[in-house]
Structure 1
Amino acid sequence: MNLSNYTSEFKKNLYIAYPVMLGQLGHVLVGLADNIMVGKLGAAPLASVSLANGLMFVFLSLGIGFTFAITPLIAEADGEKNIEKGRTIFQHGLFLSIILGFIICGLLLLSKPLMYYIQQPVEVVELAIPYFEVIAYSMIPLMIFQGFKQFADGLSLTKYAMQATIIANIINVFFNYVLIYGKFGFPAYGVVGSAYGTLISRFFMVIFMIYIVSKRKEFQPYLEKFSFNHIKKSVVKRIYNLGYPTALQMWFEVSLFASGVFLAGALGTNAQAANQIALNLASMTFMIAIGLGVTATVRVGNQKGLNNYKELRRIAISIFLLMMIIDLFFALGFIAFKDILPTYYVQNENVIETAAILIVIAGFFQLSDGIQAVVLGALRGLQDVKIPMGITFIAYWIIGFPICYYLALHTELKASGIWIGLLISLTASAIMLYIRFNLLTKKLIVEKNGTT
């Protein structure tokens, strides 16, 4: 294998990926800011944010996963240089994103009582409920933002969503400071103050993207004849057929991690707080994987539009190789700084000791987590979503969850058992998804050569 065939693509891969990485990292930094600033109030407030966000992400993952269908369809149209097709996908995708925002908000508000039935500490639930109520309403602007973001990503114009999230982070931190601690004459809302900060910052993101799309010339051809008055069932069906398996893929993974939050809560407040620290750190590095996953979707989708499957495979493998190199670096970093990283969140010695162990395990699953994310992105670019949906269900819920549950509640491993289960499930997912990609692309190359 000539490595230069793949390493030569690293620069272009990173050019597309880095704004997505920074933008997605911006989303996680909103959570990081909430965790650090709320963590200063104590372990119970930190655990309450973890519980509320864990339940919230179970629903949000379905919506965000659904909007991921917009990107490969736009990328394919862009590869074909078909503006009319791209315009139609954008209009219908944005329409569905708005509808999803209201649906998710409603589902979250209806799901509040669930927190009382999943064996969580009472003091944590009582703090989580008012935070959760405010966060639910932020789903509406967040999903509208996702519609714009996935459209821009499909055109390889990834920097604008990055800019929106970076500025939104600054806004979030400012309002957190003001509303959590009661500064500049405002009352101290505590945990709920961080929810208000998030809500305000997400409305800003939507306003920013509307402004950019309406003003930048790159988007102008897609705004001609823009109207929600001519929604076509056939286009909605196409987005739905690609969107729901993608949504379920994400939901299977996010709900597994959310179940880890609930299992940790059943072990006590300290275990919950330690789990949240490790999860927040792993989430930040995972944003790098999401950036390269989007790159895989866009570049594979472009090559699919050109019907060039040999080049498609070469580009995809270059992204997989780049992901492995980056994740190896993160794995070593997690292991080396396991005792230092938790101290940025809390000063509780028991929480720090438990978190350090979890961070080591999180270091080991960096490679598996990154590879499964970018291979899923490549398969999404091929618009192959139903079989990967089945693979992720098997990896996370047939293999992963039973291991997490047994090791956490029926062995002395406790919180560490949850993360060992996550490691095993992510590894299984990465292996099975790569086998799927390898077989599918080889088949497409053979079929293409047979018709030329």
Structure 2
Amino acid sequence: MSAEPMIGAPASGGLPHASLSLVAQALASLKLAVPIIIGQLALIGLNVVATLLMGRIGTQAMAAGVLGNAFFFSMAVIANGILSSTGVMVAQAEGRGDPQRAAGYAQRGLLLALLLSVPACAVLIGAPYFLAAIGQAPAQVALTGRYLGTLAFAMVPYAMVLALRYFLAAVERPMMGTVTAIFGVGVEFIVGQMLLPMGVAGVGLAVAAGCLAMLLGMLVYLRLSVPLQVYGLFQRGRAQAGQMGDLWRIGWPMGVAFGAETLFFMLTTTLAGYFTLPEIAAHSIGYQSIITAFMIAVGLSHATMVRVARAAGEGDIVAVRRIGWAGIMLGWLGMGGTGLVLALGGRWIAARFLDPAVGDAATVFDFAAPLLVIAALFQLFDGTQAIAAGALRGLKDTRGPMVIGLIAYWPVGMASGALLAFTLDLRLIGLWSGLALGLAVAAVALTVRFHVRSRHLPASAKG
């Protein structure tokens, strides 16, 4: 068992992280975050390409795609939360200068991804029975079932890709994750064109082919990359006793938190379905806008998480605080900028989603414009809570953020949104105001928690 490094001293040669100013820490985090952001957008491309392929089949196929993708990406989000522990533990091992331990966590992360895939596939295959039980039309249930029957095969490589992306980010080589994500989307599109005569089942296989291409691309890179040979990822005996337990103990609360947040947004969309068609269309426009912009926060959150974890592994408490606050401030700038665009360009943005010549387009734009003003605040709160939660994950603090998220999303956000929307008859404005309030509470609570935890970092949190 290696000795703990002194606080403020790096695990290996070179200057300690604490020697970097807040601005320098922000630039270092941004350098790591940019390829992660691009990679996240590429992963969204899996859904976009699947939707485009479904559109060539027909509107009923598109409806099946919406339902199927909702189930698939809900499972993927939960797995992503759990597997984020791989990035934390690899980064802390890196901070301690222990590449063998880092490799062990990466190997156990891949095994955990495989184990998580089993129940996720079972949920996807069983989803049509749930849809039938809640009264969905039999024809729609059957079509969705055919899509999920092949899409389920994508879950295994997709989960393994998530684990490897966290490893690559933790060792500060995220670009290959981005390249392979783009490559996978291209494979999905080509295979989808070839399998289009199979209908929705062919689209599901195309998504699976794209995910498999991503995984194979990453494995080839990891095998051939000379700088990464020090980890010996393909060697036996790297993993040590207790490493799987570490990943699960840190990861499951984040899986719960990610799942609760996903369900929070899914239920909001369900509630929006009680309004008029133009209002539903406006909600869809607003939702797609914030999801796309949120990828900035996701990239910054991942970068902040692994850099905080690495600094904690080095025992550098000053750097932990500077990296965390640098990430949060970058979030304010990035998400504040996108929020300003949403607030000022509401009608123009809405027109990108819907042809102004369509009969009720003007009505949709009238509903969408004020929603995008609320979305401006939304972006600031959502980005702050995501990055602060990432900083806390870097300190292996996941149960506290889970509790904060559950309270902020449900008793605060969902309850207030439903009250404002239906009891006070503010409709979409009320629903979205509730969302913004829930995220604001989460943002403040998580930021305060990081401030307190990073000031009083216990010895057990180092390394």
Normalising by structure 1, what TM-score? 0.86
Aligned counterpart for 2:186 among listed residues 150, 160, 170: 170
Tell me if the contact between 2:100 and 2:232 (Cα under 8 Å) persists in the aligned partners: no
Q: Which residue of 2 aligns with 1:65?
A: 81
Q: Give the gaps of 5 or more residues in structure 2.
A: 1-19
Separation in 2 of the partners of 1:345 and 1:417? 23
Q: Which residue of 1 aligns with 2:305?
A: 297
Q: Cα deviation per residue 1:76-126 (whole Å; 9 max; x = unaligned)? A: 111111122112211111111111122211122123333345576888666
Deviation at 1:137, TM superposition (A): 2.4
- Alignment of structure 1 residues 394-405 onto 2, 5 Å: 394-405=407-418
Query: Does 1:252 pair with 2:265?
Result: no
Q: Which residue of 2 aligns with 1:376?
A: 389
| Paired AA for residue 385 in structure 2 | Q
Q: Which residue of 2 aligns with 1:426?
A: 439
- Alignment of structure 1 residues 302-451 onto 2, 5 Å: 302-347=310-355, 350=360, 352-353=364-365, 354-410=367-423, 412-444=425-457
Query: Does 1:148 pair with 2:164?
Result: yes
Deviation at 1:288, TM superposition (A): 1.1
Tell me if the contact between 2:157 and 2:212 (Cα under 8 Å) persists in the aligned partners: yes
Question: Bigger shift: 408-417 or 289-298?
Answer: 408-417
Q: Which residue of 2 aligns with 1:182?
A: none
Aligned counterpart for 2:154 among listed residues 138, 157, 160: 138
Tell me if the contact between 1:296 and 1:316 (Cα under 8 Å) persists in the aligned partners: yes
Separation in 2 of the partners of 1:365 and 1:411? 21
Tell me if the contact between 2:101 and 2:238 (Cα under 8 Å) persists in the aligned partners: no
Q: Give the gaps of 5 or more residues in structure 1.
A: 180-185
Q: Which residue of 1 aligns with 2:293?
A: 285
Tell me if the contact between 1:93 and 1:147 (Cα under 8 Å) persists in the aligned partners: yes
Deviation at 1:233, TM superposition (A): 5.5
SS at match of 2:396: coil
Separation in 2 of the partners of 1:117 and 1:266? 20
Tell me if the contact between 2:153 and 2:205 (Cα under 8 Å) persists in the aligned partners: no
Q: Which residue of 2 aligns with 1:100?
A: 116
Separation in 2 of the partners of 1:278 and 1:115? 26
Deviation at 1:136, TM superposition (A): 2.6
Separation in 1 of the partners of 2:316 and 2:144? 51
Question: Bigger shift: 34-43 or 152-161?
Answer: 34-43
Separation in 1 of the partners of 2:136 and 2:279? 11
| Paired AA for residue 17 in structure 1 | A
Deviation at 1:373, TM superposition (A): 0.7
Deviation at 1:275, TM superposition (A): 3.4
Tell me if the contact between 1:75 and 1:301 (Cα under 8 Å) persists in the aligned partners: yes
SS at match of 2:400: helix
SS at match of 2:211: helix
Q: Cα deviation per residue 1:264-316 (whole Å; 9 max; x = unaligned)? A: 34547665554343322212211111111111111111110111111210121
Separation in 2 of the partners of 1:221 and 1:24? 27
Q: Which residue of 1 aligns with 2:29?
A: 13
Separation in 1 of the partners of 2:437 and 2:372? 15
Tell me if the contact between 2:317 and 2:454 (Cα under 8 Å) persists in the aligned partners: yes
Q: Cα deviation per residue 1:376-425 (whole Å; 9 max; x = unaligned)? A: 11001111111111111111122122233344555544344432222111
Aligned residues: 435
Deviation at 1:374, TM superposition (A): 0.6
Q: Which residue of 2 aligns with 1:187?
A: 197
Aligned counterpart for 1:86 among listed residues 102, 122, 133: 102
Tell me if the contact between 2:100 and 2:238 (Cα under 8 Å) persists in the aligned partners: no
Query: Does 1:197 pair with 2:213?
Result: no
| Paired AA for residue 124 in structure 2 | L
Deviation at 1:212, TM superposition (A): 0.8
Tell me if the contact between 1:119 and 1:266 (Cα under 8 Å) persists in the aligned partners: no
Tell me if the contact between 2:107 and 2:233 (Cα under 8 Å) persists in the aligned partners: no
Q: Which residue of 2 aligns with 1:183?
A: none
Normalising by structure 2, what TM-score? 0.84
Separation in 1 of the partners of 2:348 and 2:149? 34
Aligned counterpart for 1:210 among listed residues 212, 215, 219: 219
Q: Cα deviation per residue 1:235-268 (whole Å; 9 max; x = unaligned)? A: 2211110110121121111111121233234547
Deviation at 1:356, TM superposition (A): 4.4
Question: Bigger shift: 344-353 or 6-15?
Answer: 344-353
| Paired AA for residue 158 in structure 2 | L
| Paired AA for residue 204 in structure 1 | A
Q: Which residue of 2 aligns with 1:32?
A: 48
Separation in 1 of the partners of 2:227 and 2:57? 46
Deviation at 1:344, TM superposition (A): 3.9
Query: Percent identity over the alignment?
Result: 25
Tell me if the contact between 2:184 and 2:210 (Cα under 8 Å) persists in the aligned partners: yes
Q: Cα deviation per residue 1:321-350 (whole Å; 9 max; x = unaligned)? A: 111111111011122332233444444554
RMSD: 2.9
Deviation at 1:50, TM superposition (A): 3.5
Tell me if the contact between 1:331 and 1:364 (Cα under 8 Å) persists in the aligned partners: yes
Separation in 2 of the partners of 1:377 and 1:208? 27
SS at match of 1:138: helix
Q: Which residue of 2 aligns with 1:158?
A: 174
SS at match of 2:197: coil
| Paired AA for residue 150 in structure 1 | Y
